[in-house]
Amino acid sequence: MPELFKLGQIAKTGGVEQLWVTDNLECSNSFVVLPALAAKIPINLGTALTVQYFRCPVDAADSIASISELMDGSELSIGLGRGNP
């Protein structure tokens, strides 16, 4: 994740307005990565598809609400999808 933070900061400095992370079982947990990014970089964030069958809906909603509280007015977008075929 340290490299992701560096890239995110470079992107923010370069004018990027929103960073999206993938919700894939082969990658870091997006509901861990998003609050870490929110704490370090003041930028809009999102998921490049949250796959609903990977997660309990109540836990996902609770995580999303908690992350949005950390964002200090920045936008949090949650993309929903069925995943890869």
CA distances from 74 to 19, 32, 39, 46, 71 (A): 11, 17, 11, 11, 5
User: Binning pLDDT at 50, 70 and 90, where does residue 65 land?
Assistant: very high
User: Binning pLDDT at 50, 70 and 90, where does residue 2 land?
Assistant: very high
Looking at every residue in the chain, the average pLDDT score rounds to 90
pLDDT score of 83: 64
* Predicted TM-score (pTM) of this structure: 0.85
The 10s digit of each residue's pLDDT in 25-62 is 888 899 999 999 999 999 999 998 888 788 888 999 99
Residue range of the domain that includes 50: 2-81
Number of independent structural domains in the chain: 1
